[in-house]
């Protein structure tokens, strides 16, 4: 049984943990306002608000229900379009299953809904609930009312009818009409924010009671099985101040953070054989990749190891010039990380080009690495940054025949832990094969922050500029001094079976004068390092061309003067 608060009703779902929330809503619960457009996270029609208890408040995120395992709903507040409509229906009829509809929907509209109505931003209406939910989610988390940010919040919603102009007008009006001061005043304070939005009529009153009801739910269900899932970012009590995380200690009923034994790092571990097909519970990060690549492995599964439930895997920490990203940290957390933003202002823009906000809110960095797609954006970025990954548990000490890992549970029982840390550059072995051993979990990804003499660049070229997988992507970390390249680290994706570190091209550049000629030489060398193939993302010819030009773009963006002044 999965107890949760659905709109304004407490219910318990008797479904496998791996079942998509979308199927639970549309099928089991007959709440059909949430639409299915693709089942792959690509259209946004299924977006819901997912509220996770966090230090006395509930923090809401917009997520695609088609990629959200029911197991994640445990002890949380799930809000659908039905639950957002004023005088929303009482869903108490759903408590003990049985087909029930969203009876008694209110007739009034929220300001978000009004804006859509006024500007004709709904035509066939199929995409509309997703837009309304996404925009409401924006209002729940916005730091200020900014039409461009509101656009960003709905940028993952596809609409085939409107051409989006009416949507733009609707959300501009919304930002104009709501009280900007109140928004600023309540920024970062989820309780006050909800109060404000309830007063504005954006949210129904049920939201006011959600923290209390979730706490009660947790008490009733027994806190042991109800560990709060990942907050936007958590910090361990021992950690030094960490501006990325909300200033909140972990919820009181969080499970104790397992103290990882200091296993010796083993950076030179020999390549492990590919992980055999699912032994033991399936490790789940954001599930964004799992549902798309291997739906049959997860949809009916009950034994999921939901990493978001492990407090020790949450958060991003920046200290002593090093950034440590925990194994369950999401890409959106990274984008929102304030300290990182201060050091790396461009990061925000780069990460906006990864998937859509609802997907980023679920997708983890670790998942991006383990998934080992040759075109993974985070893998490419982290390769240039010379990140290290720390792996834990699994079959590290247990040969293939032995028990793969400790007894799994939703709450994530401590595992037989062996830890090793390795360079990401040694992590990718072959197509979709990594150094990770069966059952091993990435617990941390770490890299050094760039120094003053270092510039970074990330380039991604895809058919559609946003919400698309790259044809070729590339990243560069270049340290330069007095017109000379001290060190250059280049990576390229989509040009090899693995996310590729361009070792030779990088080495070539070290010590050279910053010049177009040097870049040209490096591009020549890189061309010998890559082996792109014709596929749906482009022809091999195109990818070769892109790889070279992206390399050039790095330098053009990082050192425009040097490049300009040094041309042949």
Partner 1 sequence: MSSEEVRLHVRGASRFLDDQPLPAGTLHAAVVASAHAHGRLLGIDAAAASSLPGVRAILTAADVPGENQIGTLVPDEPLLAEGIIHFVGQPAALVVADTPAEARRAARAVRVTVEPLPAVLDARQAGALGALIAPPRTFALGDVDAAWPRCARIAAGRAETGGQEHLYLETQSAWAAPTEEGGVRVASATQAPTGVQRGVARVLGLAMHRVEVDVRRLGGAFGGKEDQATHWAALAALGARHLGRPVKLVLSRREDMRWTGKRHPYASDFRIGIDAEGRILAYEVTYYQNAGAAADLSMAILERTLFHATGSYFVPHVRARAYSCRTNLPPNTACRGFGAPQAAFVIEAAIRAIAEAVGRPAEEIQRLNLLREGDEFPYGMRARGARAERCWDEACVLFRVEERRRAIAAANAAADPAAPAMAAANAAADPGAPAIAGANGAGPALAAPLAATPAPRYRRGLAMMPICFGISFTNTSMNQASALVHVYSDGSVGVSTGAVEMGQGVHAKLRQVAARTLGVGVERVKVESTNTMRNANTSPTAASTGADLNGQATRLACLEIAGRLRGAAAARAGCSSDDVGFDGGRVLVSGRPIDLDWETLVREAHRARVNLSAHAHYATPGIGFDRSREKGEPFAYHVYGAAVVEATVDALLGTYTIDAVRAVHDGGRLLDPLADLGQAEGGIVQGLGWMTIEDVRHDAAGALETDTLTTYKVPDLDFAPREIEVRFLEDADHPGGLFASKAIGEPPLLYGIGGFFALREALRAARPGGVPPFTAPLTPERALLWLAGQDEAGA
Ligand X SMILES: Cc1cc2nc3c(=O)[nH]c(=O)nc-3n(C[C@H](O)[C@H](O)[C@H](O)COP(=O)(O)OP(=O)(O)OC[C@H]3O[C@@H](n4cnc5c(N)ncnc54)[C@H](O)[C@@H]3O)c2cc1C
- Cα–Cα–Cα angle for 173, 176, 181, nearest 5°? 150
State which of positions 138-177 bind partner 1 (CB under 8 A).
151, 154-168
Interacting residue with ligand X among 366, 410, 435, 488 (CB under 6 A): 366
Give 193 or 360: the residue with its C-beta nearer to ligand X.
360
**Partner from ligand FES, partner 1, ligand X, none binding residue 78, C-beta < 5-8 Å depending on class:** none
Please, are residues 388 and 445 in contact by the beta-carbon 8 Å criterion?
yes
Helix (H, G, I), strand (E, B) or coil at 13: strand
Dihedral angle over CA of 462, 463, 469, 472, nearest 10: -40
Token pair for 409: 């549970």
Which alpha helices (H) appear in 409-530, and where do they start and end? Answer: 503-509, 516-529
Is 423 among the residues that bind ligand X (CB under 6 A)?
no
Report angle CA 221, 283, 329 to the nearest 5 degrees: 85
Which residues make beta-bridge pairs with 151?
none
- Phi first, then psi: what are they for 132, rounded to 5°? -60, -45
Residues 293-332 within binding reach of ligand X (CB under 6 A): 307, 327
Contact map string, positions 381 to 410, toward ligand X, x by CB under 6 A: ------------------------------
Q: Which of 117, 124, 191, 517 binds ligand FES (CB under 6 A)?
A: 124
Cβ-based nearer residue to partner 1, 115 or 418? 115
Do 456 and 323 contact (CB within 8 A), yes or no? no
Among 15, 61, 73, 116, which residue sits at the site for partner 1 (rule: CB under 8 A)? 116
Rule CB under 8 A: is residue 348 a binding residue for partner 1?
no
Q: For ligand X, give the closer residue by CB, 312 or 489.
A: 312
Which of 10, 23, 36, 303 lies at the binding interface for ligand FES (CB under 6 A)?
Answer: 36
Does 541 bind partner 1 (CB under 8 A)? Our answer is yes
Q: Does the footprint of partner 1 cover residue 124 (CB under 8 A)?
A: yes
Should residue 84 be labelled a site residue for ligand FES when binding is judged by CB under 6 A? no
Residue 441 touches ligand X, criterion: CB under 6 A: yes
Select from 37, 53, 231, 532 the one that contacts ligand FES (CB under 6 A): 37
- How many C-beta atoms lie closer than 10 Å to residue 165's C-beta? 11
Among 3, 44, 286, 404, binds ligand FES (CB under 6 A): 44
Q: DSSP secondary structure string, 120-132?
A: T--SS-SSHHHHH
290 binds ligand X (CB under 6 A): yes
Q: Does 32 bind ligand FES (CB under 6 A)?
A: no
Nearer to ligand FES, 164 or 542 (CB): 164
Q: Provide the token pair at 422.
A: 């390795």
159 lines the binding site for ligand FES (CB under 6 A): yes
Report the Cα 326 to chain-centroid distance in Å: 13
Min dist. Cβ of residue 369 to ligand X (A) = 8
**459 in Cβ contact with 465 (< 8 Å):** no
Q: How far is the CB of 364 from ligand X (least distance, A)?
A: 3
Among 90, 126, 263, 423, binds partner 1 (CB under 8 A): 126
List the one residue from 17, 329, 359, 518 that touches ligand X (CB under 6 A): 359
Query: Looking at 211, 246, 255, 367, which residue binds ligand X (CB under 6 A)?
Result: 367
Burial class of residue 125 (count of CB atoms within 10 Å of its CB; 0-12, 13-18, 19+): exposed
Q: In what order do the strands lie in the sheet with 484-493?
A: 454-461, 472-481, 484-493, 500-501
- What does 164 interact with, of ligand FES, ligand X, partner 1, none (CB < 5 to 8 A by kind)? partner 1
Name the 3-class secondary structure at 484.
strand
443 touches ligand FES by CB under 6 A: no
Give the C-alpha distances (Å, rounded to integers) separating 70 from 30, 77, 223, 245, 328. 15, 12, 18, 26, 17
Tell me if 474 contacts ligand FES by CB under 6 A.
Answer: no
Cα separation of 382 and 172, whole Å?
A: 36
Cα→Cα distances 517→358, 434, 520, 521, Å: 43, 35, 5, 6
Distance CA 285, CA 299 (A): 15
Position among 97, 117, 160, 191 found at the interface with ligand FES (CB under 6 A) = 160
By the rule CB under 6 A, 334 interacts with ligand X: no
Q: Which stretch binds ligand FES (CB under 6 A): 35-43, 193-201, 369-377, 386-394?
A: 35-43
Query: Do 68 and 36 touch, CB atoms closer than 8 A?
Result: no
What is the total count of residues that contact partner 1 (CB under 8 A)? 94
Where do contacts with ligand FES occur on this chain (CB under 6 A)?
36-39, 41-46, 64, 66, 122-128, 159-162
């Amino acid at each position: 049984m999965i107890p949760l608060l659905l709109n304004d009703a407490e219910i318990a779902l008797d479904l496998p943990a791996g079942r998509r929330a979308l199927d639970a809503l549309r099928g089991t619960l007959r709440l059909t306002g949430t639409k299915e457009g693709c089942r792959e996270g690509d259209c946004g029609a299924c977006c819901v608000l997912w509220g996770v208890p966090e230090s006395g408040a509930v923090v809401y995120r917009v997520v695609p229900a088609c990629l959200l395992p029911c197991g994640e709903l445990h002890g949380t507040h799930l809000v659908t379009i039905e639950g957002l409509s004023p005088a929303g229906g009482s869903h108490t009829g759903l408590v003990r299953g049985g087909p029930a509809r969203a009876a008694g929907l209110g007739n009034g509209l929220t300001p978000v809904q009004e804006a859509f109505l006024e500007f004709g931003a709904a035509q066939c209406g199929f995409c509309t609930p997703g837009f309304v939910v996404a925009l409401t989610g924006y209002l729940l988390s916005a730091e200020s009312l900014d039409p461009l940010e509101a656009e960003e919040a709905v940028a993952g919603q596809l609409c085939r009818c409107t051409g989006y102009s009416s949507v733009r007008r609707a959300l501009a009006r919304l930002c104009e009409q709501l009280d900007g001061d109140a928004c600023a005043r309540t920024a970062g304070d989820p309780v006050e924010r909800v109060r404000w939005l309830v007063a504005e009529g954006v949210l129904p009153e049920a939201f006011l009671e959600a923290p209390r009801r979730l706490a009660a739910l947790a008490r009733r269900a027994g806190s042991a099985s109800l560990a709060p899932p990942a907050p936007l970012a958590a910090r361990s009590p021992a950690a030094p101040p960490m501006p990325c995380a909300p200033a909140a200690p972990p919820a009181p009923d969080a499970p104790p953070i397992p103290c990882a034994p200091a296993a010796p790092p083993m950076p030179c571990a020999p390549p492990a054989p590919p992980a055999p097909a699912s032994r033991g519970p399936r490790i789940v990060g954001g599930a964004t990749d799992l549902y798309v690549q291997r739906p049959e492995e997860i949809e009916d599964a009950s034994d999921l190891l939901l990493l978001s439930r492990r407090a020790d895997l949450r958060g991003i920490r920046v200290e002593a010039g090093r950034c440590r990203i925990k194994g369950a940290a999401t890409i959106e957390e990274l984008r929102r990380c304030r300290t990182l933003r201060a050091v790396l202002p461009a990061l925000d823009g780069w990460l906006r080009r990864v998937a859509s906000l609802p997907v980023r809110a679920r997708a983890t960095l670790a998942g991006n690495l383990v998934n080992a797609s040759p075109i993974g954006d985070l893998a490419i970025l982290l390769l240039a940054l010379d990140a290290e990954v720390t792996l834990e548990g699994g079959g590290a000490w247990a040969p293939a025949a032995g028990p793969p890992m400790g007894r799994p549970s939703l709450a994530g029982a401590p595992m037989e832990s062996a830890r090793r840390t390795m360079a990401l550059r040694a992590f990718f072995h072959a197509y979709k094969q990594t150094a990770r051993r069966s059952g091993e979990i990435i617990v941390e990804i770490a890299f050094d922050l760039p120094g003053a003499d270092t510039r970074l660049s990330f380039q991604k070229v895809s058919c559609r500029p946003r919400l698309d997988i790259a044809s070729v992507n590339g990243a560069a970390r270049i340290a330069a001094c007095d017109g000379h390249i001290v060190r250059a680290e280049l990576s390229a994706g989509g040009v090899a079976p693995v996310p590729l570190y361009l070792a030779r091209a990088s080495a070539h550049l070290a010590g050279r004068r910053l010049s177009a000629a040097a870049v040209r030489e490096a591009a020549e060398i890189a061309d010998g390092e890559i082996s792109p193939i014709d596929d749906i993302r482009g022809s091999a010819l195109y990818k070769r061309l892109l790889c070279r030009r992206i390399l050039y773009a790095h330098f053009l963006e990082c050192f425009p003067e040097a490049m300009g002044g040094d041309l042949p």
